[in-house]
Amino acid sequence: MSTAPATADYSKQIGDLLMADDFKLLVAICQTTISGDSAAQFAKSIVVWLKQEDSSWLEYFLKRILKQKMTENYAKGLDASDTLRENCMTTKLINSFLWYEGQDYLVESLHRTILSIHSFALNCEIDGFRLGRDCSSQQIEEHKDYLEKACVMLLASMVGNQHKMPASFRRLCHFMKTEIENTWGPMAAKPRVDPDEPRSNRASFTMGNYWKRLSSEIATSISKTNGYMMKGDEAEQKRPLSEIYYYSAGKDLKSNRSSGSWKQDTLMSASEKAVGSLLFLRFFIPAIISPEHYRLVDGCVTPEERRGFLLCAKVLTGMCNNVDFGKKEAYIRIMNPFIHEYRAMIRSFVKFASASSLGSNRRRPNMEEFQATLHSGLSKTGVSDDLISFLDSNLGKIEKDLQGATQLFSVTESEGIMNNFGSLKALVSERMRERQCQQAAKQPAPQPSSVYRFIRRFGFFQSKPKVEELSKENHPEPCITPNLTSSINQQQYMNWT
């Protein structure tokens, strides 16, 4: 009698192995060289599974794998701000988590602003080569003002809705900032000022100068949703909230500017740049570039309009990275003064996101509880079939890369990981065999086709017994010629036959 566990038991046992020993096996698998669309689907499956188990487990696992990534980068001598720049399994997990947790926050923060920018996104092109030979410096300057206006509206919308940021975002940002400063030391908490940087890169514009230059632009807003132009008091009442927040956020920023060095006030530290990468590079920027994929616009976006959104994303990325545009993209260097002017706004937003962990209501799993509940099962729901299918398809590659991934663990931990992987491999193989048997049992018996039935009915081919019977009736067996000797003449032979 078979004692094979049921399907649910296979899923729960696989979940227990992945969660056991402080997620060591799952962390090691995520350190392997898994790439492509399958890796993104695998990351999404992990996030959904752990979220269904317990949101605290999901947050803890992400912090666990982020810490592992920081330790690896520090051992390689990489910069702290590059923690999330590599397109690896860790960043795919972060992307899936941010999208899963922040869909409503993203729509509420940027939907109205993106719709308003969509109406003039065509006018944000500042590359003279793309505009054509007939473009003038005045046209480029006008398009530059449109691009600056779009970036200001995006920044104001983010700052104005920062209080709606999910608590899980802020806890992750706080953890990332503090862990980087603990790993790389106090220097990671201080802005890096290049003494050889030319003075022309310092602040040459004040916030008030820019408001005067764009006051007429902000007062006249074209709303795509309402379909008409609004001016004066009507614009103050009906224009997007981001334009209203633009004034209050800018005034607060201007009043809070200290009299010290501008560089010290606006340049971000390595830990702040890493948090900026988490929020902008992995969350806001993809939505700005492809708003139709994130429910921010109705309908499609033309390539020319997407180009305007892409330029906005480039400017915001430059603010987060503390870098100026150089010779590689010379056409956008005219935006460097604007980047200097509003970089403090980015830093204030990053500081707010990483300022507090909002309490310690996310409890770290206790290893004694792991051991106590091991036999009853840690996993409540079990892993999904998609996750099991991914493991089955990549078991060979994972096993090959796991030897290198376990070098970050101690010898005892590495042995435990490999033992658990052996058990995982057996369970995945058993589950896939069971699924194949279930699929084979569900398939109906093949039915003869209409052509086959037609041929059988009209006798285009007969079974073997009928053919033999027919040949005996109509065609008697041929005679066998005897071995004739030379004494038998022709007449005798004819008489015999």
Domain finish residue from 310, 330, 364: 364
Q: What's the mean per-residue pLDDT of the chain?
A: 75
Domain annotation covers residue 50 = yes
In terms of phi and psi (left: phi > 0; alpha: psi -120 to 50; beta: otherwise), the region of 148 is: alpha
Tell whether 109 and 216 lie within a shared domain.
Answer: yes
pLDDT confidence band for 122 (50 / 70 / 90): very high
Indicate if the alpha-carbon torsion angle 43, 46, 51, 52 is positive or negative. Answer: positive
Identity (one letter) of the amino acid at 449? S
Burial label, 22 (beta-carbon count in 10 A; 0-12, 13-18, 19+): middle
By the 8 A CB rule, do 154 and 342 touch? no
Tell whether 119 and 150 lie within a shared domain.
Answer: yes
Domain annotation covers residue 94 = no
Would the pLDDT of 62 be above 80? yes
Angle at 144 between CA 140 and CA 148, to 5 degrees: 175
| Interatomic CA distance for residues 175 and 167, integer angstroms | 12
- Domain hosting residue 26, numbered range: 10-54+366-441
| CA 201 distance to own-chain centroid | 35
In terms of phi and psi (left: phi > 0; alpha: psi -120 to 50; beta: otherwise), the region of 44 is: alpha
Would the pLDDT of 196 be above 60? no
| Interatomic CA distance for residues 319 and 342, integer angstroms | 8
Average pLDDT over residues 169-184: 93
Q: What percent of the chain has pLDDT over 70?
A: 67
Domain annotation covers residue 488 = no
Tell whether 268 and 160 lie within a shared domain.
Answer: yes
Tell whether 359 and 370 lie within a shared domain.
Answer: no
Average pLDDT over residues 258-267: 47
| Interatomic CA distance for residues 190 and 317, integer angstroms | 20
> What is the predicted pLDDT for the residue at 465?
52
Average pLDDT over residues 158-183: 93
By the 8 A CB rule, do 353 and 165 touch? yes
Domain annotation covers residue 375 = yes
Domain annotation covers residue 391 = yes
Tell whether 275 and 155 lie within a shared domain.
Answer: yes
Domain annotation covers residue 181 = no
By the 8 A CB rule, do 221 and 230 touch? yes
Domain annotation covers residue 452 = no
> What is the predicted pLDDT for the residue at 490?
61
Instruction: Count up the domains in the chain and report the number.
Output: 2
> What is the predicted pLDDT for the residue at 287?
95
> What is the predicted pLDDT for the residue at 275?
93
Greatest mean pLDDT range, 243-257, 330-344, 354-368 = 330-344
